[in-house]
Structure 1
């Protein structure tokens, strides 16, 4: 059993930050659409937060970071921070303490920080490498939605495991999915490099930066990389969580289109096509 001290610390900081107004949870309502299962659809209520509005110049929220949202440092290079606009309680960001671009290559140091957190607190990790992949901030950050032991990490976790076992059809877009096991960060770094090379995203040792936008999703059991072609489809803004089975509807979303075509078609609209 994990100690889950990072998760418990995040919940404690969340209570204080919420009471001071530093934390602004998204207000949503769940929509039940039978043809969309197992996806979880939520409709945003009220005005969208800043990161969901039209893009434009804005200050880096992580330099300096908002101190009431700080959970704690991870060595000299990384920090755990609450997401100011969380999608659940304890929604964590793993950020670099100095400026590094979200669109650059993730480093061995980044993966070692992920492994340090993962040894204590499990859950669903995700990364949006650029605005085309759904990133709202240019400063490097990975995100973690903590999960209790034995709890599914996301709505599509069962489908991903079924694909790994050969019990489910493959998706019709460019992605790589592999099993993962416990490690010190090197296992994640190796999977990341392998996926990037096989999807044509490039190689960190050769290319200055990734050649195409992409998302990462992973938990204790699997590691998934998706090559992206665009950020929006049918009025939906789709980041890595879309490929985990979570969709957020705003005033721009075409719900009729989604009901006609289904969530998998939406993901196909925003992912790069699978190689012939």
Structure 2
């Protein structure tokens, strides 16, 4: 099915309206010149720290109900595509369940069907933070999408990921599963990547009922599917979610820039991921 990017255009148009209404609060950031951390992109947060990055106690669920000005499109009765209230780029969207589903529960068939329905129109870099320990800011299930045009690199670490797939680079020293995707994959294929990756990482079997799995991140695009097992959320004042493993880092007032200069970004990832036994 040809990609029309209709949903991306709808998200951009909705963003303009939501900004005028004050419902959308884009993060203002500035790219920091590399000092030994290329190809990672480090951005300094210049605007006020959004609520989801502040230390806080229990919060109301912002998705039940969701803010109508942020709605892009409903996908049947199971999911809805929303603008991220605090976007890191224009068109940054969330795919949420219309009814309550726990972020730290296993992703299900309906989640993958909805992902595929969006991706057939607007593709890009998908990511998922399974719990607070993996960088999730909300307990209600949501996957996130940073749209990309056809042929556009998905993220700064795209070359490193391709080198891993070719076998041209040494494995990373933490627990992860990276696999190539084939053209024309179905929702069932995505679910298979997810299930096999989870089992290989010792997270459990998504097909079996039980307690929530240990924290993990997902990152995927049309070419690859990456799953990382996590052990903590932050180090040296840097909050690391799935985007850290894509090469995107955010410098806030709490971040220790001297630590990053001394140890480098790969040390950040190694510190928050589960190490290879």
Alignment of 1:63-102 (within 5 A): 63-102=64-103
The partner residue of 2:195 within 193, 197, 205 is: 193
Cα deviation for residue 207 of structure 1 reads: 4.3
Cα deviation for residue 211 of structure 1 reads: 2.8
- The answer to whether structure 1 residue 148 and structure 2 residue 149 are counterparts is yes
In the comparison of the two structures, how many residue pairs are matched? 275
- TM-score if structure 1 supplies the norm length? 0.98
- TM-score if structure 2 supplies the norm length? 0.97
Q: Which runs of 5+ in 2 are unaligned?
A: none
Alignment of 1:46-61 (within 5 A): 46-61=47-62
Q: CA RMSD in A?
A: 0.9
**1:65 alignment partner, SS class:** coil
State how far apart, in whole Å, the 2-side matches of 1:65 and 1:121 are.
22
Moved more, 183-192 or 205-214: 205-214
Q: Which runs of 5+ in 1 are unaligned?
A: none
Moved more, 176-185 or 247-256: 176-185
- The answer to whether structure 1 residue 274 and structure 2 residue 276 are counterparts is yes
Partner of 1:228 in structure 2? 230
Partner of 1:130 in structure 2? 131
State how far apart, in whole Å, the 2-side matches of 1:250 and 1:29 are.
11
The partner residue of 1:257 within 239, 256, 259 is: 259
Partner of 2:29 in structure 1? 28
**2:36 alignment partner, SS class:** helix
Partner of 1:213 in structure 2? 215
Residues 70 and 81 in structure 1, CA contact (< 8 A), matched pair in contact too: yes
**1:93 alignment partner, SS class:** strand
Partner of 1:242 in structure 2? 244
- Consecutive aligned runs of 4 or more in structure 1 exceeding 4 Å deviation: none
- The answer to whether structure 1 residue 105 and structure 2 residue 106 are counterparts is yes
